Structure 1
């Protein structure tokens, strides 16, 4: 049925937490149409990962009554006729005119109002019984600005006194701040954490995720102007966020201004990774190599790898797939194939493989079909013919995580159980995250903020391992201080002899999937979250409850 011909039966109207008569500014008004409707994260003014992208399914009847199904992992509250009822994942409830939903218990209140008493239908903005489900882009943009301003005012009143809230600039539509990171300042140094989990229980408890962290000491006075690539990349990224400078009183340090330059106080010379970030904008000139896949390309071009990695395969593993085409896939693969072998020849183009859960993987996961809400790729993106040759299975028997669906995002080049390089990142496989070249490859357009860490083979000197929370540990694996060592990246399944090369430090990376990955079989179907699946999952549920 075309969206413009669907019959509107009512609206979910946002309410204040303690005042049923006023909007709380945190949820958009949601029109409800006869038949199937979805309520989810895109209806919030700002992202809250407790609300799934497909949080509720609503099946509306012509008489205005609605059956609600909780599709996400978190429960809701239904308030009807003075009663307050908790409705958990995959459970159903009926609602009628004037009933209130708490999309998260205690948060995000909406009241259902049928067409007879619909404020949106009666305020002149939308008249008549039939309405389009989608506004024009301009109207949406203006509405978003007004909602952002309303939410900002609300949050400023509600936030704890020692919190500072900041929304980074998003100059290009459909962008987001997708990075996940922490900068933890201690009296003697800083801990930098880059991870893939959102700050919600289900992400840390039920998913396969990745986290990297390293502690760095304060600089000595003589090294205050010394800069290394990790530091420059971190400060460039923080500068792009344009957060407002503020003052803080830190133990030992005293009163300081916290801005991007503050983070130059720390000595990152021992960094074991490179930062690979994305910042929204149209990047040209020298900036074209600062962000996205062009940043990754430029770093790899500076590296020398063992000859065994010439034309070796590439792995793309992520939890959301953008709308891609073969031209962009070639562009992206070219960047990830950069680098030269130890004889000076280019590594050559690697064959990409995509590690992606099948429908059966999701159905049998520890969350059942509900896990699919965090693998939010639609059928139109997933089932493009040219992608078929890339699909490989999510298999994680070696780390016991086959049934913990991946929210982790990783990209790597490998040969057997040897790793040329490995990237842990917030970036999914999309143009929005990695950027797309434009204007005859002279400009890179990126929509979103992303952040990742790139593991590379290194030649370095053995030094004590600095810790912000413990006394400094000995050098890595007891190696003699000051000794020059080379690092070699391998998987947990590597079975080589670490003693054969005493000057080589073997770094075992917890690659979450088995290498080489297994190609899809004839019965395997890649997961897409907007298809209907009637075979029941481990909890006896189908997906979705209403198609």
Structure 2
């Protein structure tokens, strides 16, 4: 396929991205932008033809907003997420979208078919200057007057954006979905009820049905603390909460300001000593009167991530306290989950986590059947190279899986919501080291070269999603990165999840797996916070004698041997939930994956899409 047919003609209208998979500002550098990474939104190709009929805008009911937050939520997240918030607060309707026809464009010299606006010459972008994308219509005076003092500041998606959940949406029940694997999807507003059966909302996770909560620790990247507090049931709402974050400077000040109304919230700042690193781990440590539980998930602690996105989580069993006088090695699982969790927490070198570490030692984690796969910032040599990142995953796959006859035909499927810079060709990182990790099965020194399918939403997937173009705010792939790695796009496949009812709930979940050629068996499955980036997974340096990891990430690996199986059977229709005894693994998207057609483009957040309306009748114009 030609590059033109793959990508259309894109227009640059934003600043250059960094090396981080979430396109976040560097935590540890002197950049003035200290807000954290998030998502972005995009548009149809400029060569696309507008549809003959306009999509009907969604009719919504205004949902009462929770307790007031003292910090404007437009500051939450990456530039892409902030752009999504701005567009939802002040949307541009399709029929009033400014025309870009008269703008002068210069063709990119590499023949990619993209058109750069004048303001983007030499990578210098002045969003207010000549050649910038059209500005949205300013809000009317009436809209400003509508604000009253006791109202909460606008939600990240706009005051009128969220629709009311049905009355039974927050009905909490102990889930029966996949108790074997303890892998759950989130509830999604706007789906048929059967597709939320057995799924979990954050209110379910924190409900009394899972234990009498005494205190909790929340590790995450983005926080809306007022919203978070509202998700705890009233009887637990003032119990101590420790927030583990990576914010610095202005972003840290905003986070601390958010907590002013909540004296039960304390903070632990993760050390980020390498440029472009982020604290991207998403984990809950929940301490109950009855024991202790770990939740490892993909959602930020903001309402948008629990609203109309596909997310996933692993929920541990309830870990009981060990008897008094138990040995230091007591309570370990066959997967060494306890040891690895303690090692991960110790890597923060944070006094605020010492009490957590001691408490975990006092609990029995022997029921855990998954392996922990974490990343922590640093440069590692020798045996330490296998402690973190993709080399940690490679070590686990080498030690705990077995080679399968004909495994060269078993494809790897990676699915993620953000993409970092990987070099001028696939040998630089993706095939050079990451694919070698993903294709490891057992201790065989012979490495097969199976297909690799990368699932990432297309422009059309985003346009027709429940959220419309703003869903792309959580998909921060920038034009600057995309231009440098056209080779990557031949790997791309569409986001399709009809079996789970979630094709129109854009993914923020991140999963990687090895599947049989007929897509009925899994050799292994990983759910993680890590996107497709070197910052998240680590990259080899110094002639492969050192690995450098920039970010904190965390996930859990399922291998069949830990479940007394040879492979995991794929459960192709996990909803509605019919039994807790099914041995099938609930893959959250359709198999086989669907390759991009010649007309499909990967979603790029920082270019305009004004050729066709989204499901809310709006277009996407980044400023």
TM-score between both structures, scaled by the size of structure 1: 0.66
Indicate whether 1:419 and 2:526 are aligned: no
Indicate whether 1:396 and 2:494 are aligned: no
Indicate whether 1:274 and 2:378 are aligned: no
Indicate whether 1:492 and 2:522 are aligned: no
Q: For the Cα contact (< 8 Å) 1:235–1:260, is it kept in 2?
A: yes
Indicate whether 1:526 and 2:605 are aligned: no
Per-residue deviation, residues 461-520 of structure 1 (Å, max 9, x unmatched): xxxxxxxxxxxxxxxxxxxxxxxx43641221289xxxxxxxxx9732221111221111
Decide which of 226, 232, 240 is 2:347's aligned counterpart: 240
| Inter-partner Cα distance in structure 2 for 1:222 and 1:42 | 47
Distance 1:43 1:203, change over 3 A: closer
User: Structure 2: any 5+ residue segments left out of the alignment?
Assistant: 1-11, 16-31, 36-70, 91-126, 161-223, 228-246, 575-580
Distance 1:349 1:264, change over 3 A: farther
Indicate whether 1:206 and 2:236 are aligned: no
Q: For the Cα contact (< 8 Å) 1:77–1:105, is it kept in 2?
A: no
Indicate whether 1:314 and 2:314 are aligned: no
Per-residue deviation, residues 151-206 of structure 1 (Å, max 9, x unmatched): 587567x1633322011000011211111111112233211100101112221120
Per-residue deviation, residues 192-242 of structure 1 (Å, max 9, x unmatched): 100101112221120000011112222344454234521111011111223
User: Structure 1: any 5+ residue segments left out of the alignment?
Assistant: 5-24, 29-39, 93-103, 108-143, 247-256, 461-484, 496-504
Partner of 2:270: 168
Q: For the Cα contact (< 8 Å) 2:455–2:493, is it kept in 1?
A: yes
Q: Secondary structure at the match of 1:262?
A: helix
Aligned Cα RMSD in Å?
4.1
Decide which of 425, 430, 438 is 2:533's aligned counterpart: 430
| Inter-partner Cα distance in structure 2 for 1:145 and 1:200 | 19
Decide which of 384, 391, 413 is 1:294's aligned counterpart: 391
Q: For the Cα contact (< 8 Å) 1:90–1:541, is it kept in 2?
A: no
Indicate whether 1:328 and 2:429 are aligned: yes
Partner of 1:537: 614
Indicate whether 1:445 and 2:548 are aligned: yes
| Inter-partner Cα distance in structure 2 for 1:153 and 1:164 | 9
Q: Secondary structure at the match of 1:424?
A: strand
Per-residue deviation, residues 381-424 of structure 1 (Å, max 9, x unmatched): 23522113201111111111000000000011100220000000
| Inter-partner Cα distance in structure 1 for 2:551 and 2:445 | 34
Q: For the Cα contact (< 8 Å) 2:34–2:251, is it kept in 1?
A: no
Partner of 2:185: none
| Inter-partner Cα distance in structure 2 for 1:377 and 1:400 | 25
Q: Secondary structure at the match of 1:302?
A: helix
Decide which of 329, 347, 350 is 1:225's aligned counterpart: 329
| Inter-partner Cα distance in structure 2 for 1:278 and 1:191 | 21
Partner of 2:477: 377
Task: Say which one has the larger Rg.
Answer: 1
Range that drifts further, 198-207 or 447-456? 198-207
More relative contact order, 1 or 2 (CA 8 Å, 6+ apart): 2
Q: Secondary structure at the match of 2:591?
A: coil
Partner of 1:500: none
Indicate whether 1:305 and 2:402 are aligned: yes
| Inter-partner Cα distance in structure 2 for 1:3 and 1:289 | 37
Distance 1:349 1:444, change over 3 A: same
Q: For the Cα contact (< 8 Å) 2:74–2:85, is it kept in 1?
A: no
Task: Give the alignment of 1:69-88 within 5 angstroms.
Answer: none
Task: Give the alignment of 1:54-65 within 5 angstroms.
Answer: 54-56=84-86
Q: How many residues align?
A: 414
| Inter-partner Cα distance in structure 1 for 2:604 and 2:13 | 22
Q: For the Cα contact (< 8 Å) 2:417–2:475, is it kept in 1?
A: yes
| Inter-partner Cα distance in structure 2 for 1:289 and 1:41 | 41
Per-residue deviation, residues 84-107 of structure 1 (Å, max 9, x unmatched): 898885899xxxxxxxxxxx9999
| Inter-partner Cα distance in structure 1 for 2:463 and 2:262 | 40
Per-residue deviation, residues 256-292 of structure 1 (Å, max 9, x unmatched): x714233122222221210100001111122111000
Partner of 1:512: 588
Q: For the Cα contact (< 8 Å) 1:420–1:489, is it kept in 2?
A: yes
